[in-house]
Structure 1
Amino acid sequence: MAKDLLWPLLAAAFMAAAAAAAESMPVPAATALGTRANGSGSSYARFFSFGDSQIDTGNFIRYSADPGPVSRLPYGETFFHRPTGRWSDGRLVVDFIAERLGFPYWPPYLAGKTAEDFRYGANFAVTSATALSQTFFKEKGLDVDGITPYSLGAQIEWLKKVLDTLGSTNHERREIMASSLFLVGEMGANDYNHPFTQNRTLDFVLPLVPLVIRSIGHSLEALIQLGAKTLYVPGIFPLGCIPRYLFQFRDSGAGAHDPATGCLRWLDDLAVHHNALLKAELAALRRAHRGVSIVYVDYYGEILGIVTSPAEYGFGVRTVLDVCCGGGGPHNANLTVVGCTLPGFVLCPDPSRYVCWDGLHNTEAVNEIMARGMLDGPFATPPIMPAGRWTE
């Protein structure tokens, strides 16, 4: 998502080495689904993912000269015990999915060079990525310094390069696509985040929604034309529950907050609108491509359920909308001056009791719940592994 502060080139070099070490961790034990010839315990040969910082496992730090706070502890402290380019205290949704599939923590696209590097697939997600292009936002008058050029469309182009590495004929490449699992998103949140952080209003953002959905639909169509048969497409989170926004719009008038959750109603309504249009787009794609499984993933429902009943999930009731690693102030979310890792930041004693890690991104504890909802249900129908059971 946002790239707020600059750090020296030395940090980028350090992070590349640290992430490479994380990606060389051993393959988890195979599940009980049977072992394929590639050595995994999955019914899928490969796993490909597209998105933004919610699932970026290291692409951003490989191209950015100023990787920012993600290049320092406490990022990565819970699982990897060092920063790896993941915007969390530990693992991301894609890490838990890869574990369950019996795959290693496969490399981000920019860390791979050979066919062997992409043996289990690749992660194309990039921090601050949008569904619409960087050029689009520049033409709209936004400062694009914090908006990556690697939008969803650019990530699809990266996939084509990987396919050329893996298969020498069109038939081989289509076979690879047909036997792979695809996670596309969530996408779209940054298309709204970037304008809001540049003081644009809802009147500016709302007309973007159908354009964002159309862009996502075009990218899904491109994947299907390349041969993809199994695609999981998450909606966006309840934006009104994001601590950064709760701080930014803390002076909202009476009635702006939902009394049941404490979240900002108008931002949640924006997310609901986006998700409704996305579901309609996916339904149209299903009608056009009867042999393709296109599954909506209800990230909104997952997060709202946690916020509404935090104790049931093991989270603190009083801190459910607070930031674990933040800049103080209301919700520990004053990120305008102090962000996670900067002098004066405030770190919670136990990230597993918090939903939000740094004001924008989830803790590992929430990422695990989200992955479980996708792998075993009920937030994806059918789930990725309908016959499986979550293994603690």
Structure 2
Amino acid sequence: MSRESCRSLSQEAKRLICDDPVTMASYPDCIMARMSDGDGEYRDVMKFLSVERRADLHKGRVNGMRHLTKRSVVIFVLASFSYHVGVVATDRIVYSCDGNLMVIDVNTGTIVQLTSDRADEWAPTWSTTGAFIVFVSNPYRQEDLFMIASTVEGAIPTRLTSDSANDRDPAWSPIASEILFSSDRDGDFELYVLPLSDAGAVGEVRRITSNESNDVQGDWSPDGQRVVFVSDRTGNNELFILDLADGTVNQLTNHAASDDDPDWSPSGDLIAFSSMRDGNRELYVISADGTGLRRLTSTGAIDWCPSWSADGKQLAYCSFDPVNNYAALHDLMILTLGTGATAKLTSSSADEWFPAWASSTIH
């Protein structure tokens, strides 16, 4: 059921919805369709369904749907559901473009716009099945985490966090329904884990780092037992690895320049990151044991935010060249590690950044 379908309700139904929005907790298999204001936008139309059912209703693929008025609200009675959450091929990359989330098919170049909200949306991360994407947005001024169905065009995001602080850098666990993220809710940025279900956040947020410095940009190891992250606890941004079993933290990099944007390879043996250590932000790779540091790019452009392909043979990243092109915008690039060859994936009149390649856990 699209937004246009929502607007096609009768004026009487719209009036009833606006005049008396009621929480229909006694209708577990129904939803209450209501407007959050009087401008005709049905922002809460999916309120009481699981994510799968919200997505299904939004696409209008519900069997036996009818609506009726009761207790001064419009209730949609759902007889049965035909929706199935599918998986997403690993040749897809989600990214932020002009503040909206887009998904591009690497093989065909086909681009699908996932969101079209007035707030900015960035830093997306895939679920292990590819059915959902968690991202950062700021519709309420502070940065919060949201979740959206990736296989449903025009799906409505679910808000996951609502703390007055900033929540950012989400990373979906490869082995569990958990989101790793950073937040300054305790005064400085620390790493936290948020349990999830298909319907949204469940359980209590737990903090996994605690110090007086900033810990940000965390990413899971493929086995979900360790986390690589960025911290300024030694004076500037360096990479560290946290062992979740015993809480041990080991420093991975040590350089006077800033090391950022770590992304753990699907095989678990390498970590890609960006660094200013050669005077310009370029991409590097290092073994998870701290050996084998290698520079990957040397184009003179600013290259950052790497994301591994599912097979570990390529990296997607964003790049721009403010020196040689004053009007440069961020574009997405693909680097093939075996040959060092690079290719431009996107080129538009807007910044395209924060790429996230569909995970190797998607099958």
Whether TM-score is above 0.5 comes out as: no
> Higher strand share goes to which structure?
2
> Higher helix share goes to which structure?
1
Tell me the TM-score normalised to structure 2 length. 0.29
Which structure is richer in relative contact order (CA contacts within 8 A, separation 6 or more)? Answer: 1
Tell me the TM-score normalised to structure 1 length. 0.28
